[in-house]
A and B are shown apart, each in its own frame.
Chain A
Amino acid sequence: SSELTQDPAVSVALGQTVRITCQGDSLRSYYASWYQQKPGQAPVLVIYGKNNRPSGIPDRFSGSSSGNTASLTITGAQAEDEADYYCNSRDSSGNHAVVFGGGTKLTVL
């Protein structure tokens, strides 16, 4: 099975822009999706596909991809954006399995 690699922790100053990355071979063939998870809560989908936001997700969240790397960008980070962020995609082995990245803890300073 394939793997997705994320930086364990990232910090950003309030109001600044931060990019969270996700690397893996499967991203050469499949889009990544991104989830936000706050303590004690279920994950929430924030970005999927090329750069799609579900209803209710602020437009400061955006996604992009190049080669084997997908990125989640938060433009003008807010205090409420402090959370764990996970990427996922289809497993590249072709067996319809799904794989998650290890997660990135975002701290808003």
Chain B
Amino acid sequence: QVQLVESGGGVVQPGRSLRLSCAASGFTFSSYGMHWVRQAPGKGLEWVAVIWYDGSNKYYADSVKGRFTISRDNSKNTLYLQMNSLRAEDTAVYYCARTIPCTNGVCYDAFDIWGQGTMVTVSS
């Protein structure tokens, strides 16, 4: 079945780095834009980054720009998020999500498939 599975979360000290992975299965990964969305404990959803289906374009939230890098390996059906210079405020559950397919040539900024999330805790 269509599935996204995140991994790589954990406890890390401020200023250090961490790389998250998101393994996709059950669909043609290389045809879809992919996003990272995070949720701090007890807080709402925050969009983090998007990468186009072929990796040609990447966009970031201002809060992570210059520190986080989104990438993908379509040969491995895997999405990544490299997180550098981590801060306490980056503590959150990180979800990967798929952009919903375009319908009749109309595209939407909607996320139809989500992973279960991986927890990142930034603490000394």
Contacts and interface: CB of A to CB of B under 8 A. Distances in A.
Residue among B47, B60, B103 facing the most chain A CB atoms (10 A cut-off): B47
B114 A31 contact: no
B100 A48 contact: yes
Contact of A88 (B60, B109, B115, B117): B109
Q: How large is the interface on A (under 10, 10 to 19, 20 to 34, 35 or more residues)?
A: 20 to 34
Contact of B47 (A44, A49, A97): A97
Q: Which 5 A-B pairs have the closest CB atoms?
A: A48-B110, A33-B110, A42-B114, A98-B47, A103-B44
Given A42-B95, A86-B44, A86-B45, A96 B50 contact: yes
Given A96-B50, A98-B47, A33 B60 contact: no
Given A31-B108, A100-B45, 7 more contacts: A1-B61, A33-B111, A43-B111, A45-B111, A49-B110, A86-B45, A88-B45
A97 B59 contact: yes
B59 A49 contact: no
A84 B39 CA distance: 13
B116 A42 contact: yes
Interface of B: 35, 37, 44-47, 50, 57, 59-62, 95, 100, 103, 106, 108-112, 114-117
B60 A97 contact: yes
A89 interface: yes
Nearest to B116: A42
Contacts of B50: 96-98
24 contacts: A30-B109, A31-B108, A33-B108, A35-B45, A37-B45, A43-B45, A45-B111, A45-B112, A49-B106, A52-B103, A84-B44, A86-B44, A86-B45, A88-B109, A88-B110, A88-B111, A95-B59, A96-B57, A98-B109, A100-B44, A100-B46, A100-B47, A101-B44, A103-B45
A102 interface: yes
B11 to A, nearest CB: 20
A23 B61 CA distance: 20
Nearest to A100: B45
Interface in A1-53: 1, 30-31, 33, 35, 37, 42-45, 48-49, 52
